[in-house]
Amino acid sequence: MNESTMMDFPLTLAAILRRAETWFGRVEVVSSAGRGNWAEVARRARGLAGALREAGVEPGDRVATLRWNNVEHLHAYFGVPLAGAVVHPLNLRLHAEELIRIMNIAGDRFILVDDALLPLWEQIRPRVAARRLETTDNAAAFCEPAIEETAGAGMAFTSGTTGDPKGVIYSHRAIALHALATALPDAMNLRQTDCVFPLVPMFHANAWGIPYAAAMVGCKLVLGGPCFDAESALDWLACEQVTFSAGVGVIWQNIFDALEREPGRWRLHPELRVNLGGAPASMALFRRFDRHHIAVNMGWGMTEMTPVGTMNPNYSGERRTRQGRPLPFVEARTADSGELEVRGPWVAANYIGGADPGAWTGDGWFRTGDVVEFDDQGLMEIVDRHKDLIRSGGEWISSVALENALATHPSVREAAVIAVPHEKWQERPLAVVACTTPVTPEELDAWLVSSFAGWQRPDAYVFVDALPRTSTGKIDKKRLRERHGARGTTHPPLSLTS
């Protein structure tokens, strides 16, 4: 007797798009260009795929994009993979020289460029092989090629804040499974009736996969263009009555500043919920969400993970600041050093060109560089980045713990702690602090006394107007180290006696 088997059905972006078109064709997709729907997105994505094939795109070719969060970028998210190629969103916040280097590593053959970004493209064009495709719609019938689920569909590069940028290719299967997992109730908890507004650039790790998950679930999707300032974001949130958004903590800090400057100006949806990511967030930020009656939780991921790896199901209580549990099919373990290692169907197995093979263990797990702890409920907390731990007199000091504690001080907007060389102790912590009201180093030290021993507390404080950020919104500790670390500081820090 023959054993029963299942159909060999490929998990591809074409299947996700067909679902959105068939069952949710009239659901709105809103952008600065106007109001469309998923049926129109499907038609335009196929038109783009046909134009790419006519232009000579071959299976596996890389097609770069220089685009903001707009519906044309959404067409490329689906249209490029439908043509059998790999869509490569370029980080618009990088310097032209960095973009040139990344495009040459990627081997991009074609590029799609927003008109507003043509000046940036002109800086890049002479030194890359990519050719700009100006016609992005083909009215002729497009016959989708057969695509393997293991074929490349998307590409992203690490930010390069700790070294040269490294590229990762996402397969159709990885993106499809990632969309399923992130939409689950204990993850982003997406519902077909949601209005979804990603405050994550589409050039940053697939906008955390949110556009693909929204298409799969059939949500209304709002794309806010190039404006990530607080007032623009609030206009979209209020006008479209957004029920789900996601972004890094600094954007939401700015949103709350605006809400508190002009109370009553924006009426947000009463069931708005937000997912934070990009870096650990302090309880002080979570309490600002509470004051504005916005539900919030935390997630964690990396470019190498398509990018989401864990999500926290808690929208209340102290544990919601933790980064959560691994999503289904993501497995996690900790090395003896406490560094998190992961594997799973949407975790990269290598970098483009075989760069940095040491990022994987001998048995194939990816070394994340994050030092973590799991509590008795299996919720992960990032203790520090492996490179950010401070080695002082043979003992380790967590920069993240100090940063979170400083951020709870009523005068502190945000803080970063870095290691600076010390003749006797090897390294000592230095705190770089941005404040809302004046505060002294002595007052901040007193604030930490109840939680940290004297040797764990910063030796010095530097007060700045704002902390430097990477192109993806994270605090740029590389620049902080250059300014205040081994190279010293232009302005001496306000020191405490050690």
pLDDT of residue 49: 96
* DSSP letter, residue 127: G
> In the chain, what are the domains?
13-382 (3.40.50.12780), 388-495 (3.30.300.30)
Say which residue, 131 or 404, is predicted with more confidence. Answer: 131
pLDDT of residue 98: 86
pLDDT band at 394 (very low <50, low <70, confident <90, very high): low
Q: pLDDT digit string (tens) for 281-329? A: 888 899 999 999 999 999 999 999 999 999 999 999 989 999 999 999 9
Whether 490 shows a pLDDT value over 60: the answer reads no
pTM: 0.84
Whether 472 shows a pLDDT value over 80: the answer reads no
Q: What is the mean pLDDT of the chain?
A: 91
For the record, the structure tokens of 317 come out as 């209580």
pLDDT of residue 404: 87
Average the pLDDT over 447-472 and give the result: 89
Say which residue, 395 or 343, is predicted with more confidence. Answer: 343
Whether 495 shows a pLDDT value over 70: the answer reads no
% of the chain residues with pLDDT over 70? 95
Whether 493 shows a pLDDT value over 70: the answer reads no
Reported in sequence order, the residue ranges of 214-365 that DSSP labels E, i.e. its strands, are 220-222, 244-248, 273-277, 295-301, 308-311, 325-326, 331-334, 339-343
Q: What is the DSSP string of 373-418?
A: EE-TT--EEEEEETTT-EEETTEEE-HHHHHHHHHTSTTEEEEEEE
pLDDT of residue 139: 65
pLDDT of residue 112: 98
pLDDT of residue 421: 87
pLDDT of residue 149: 98
Nearest CA to 156 out of 352, 357, 361, 358 is that of 352
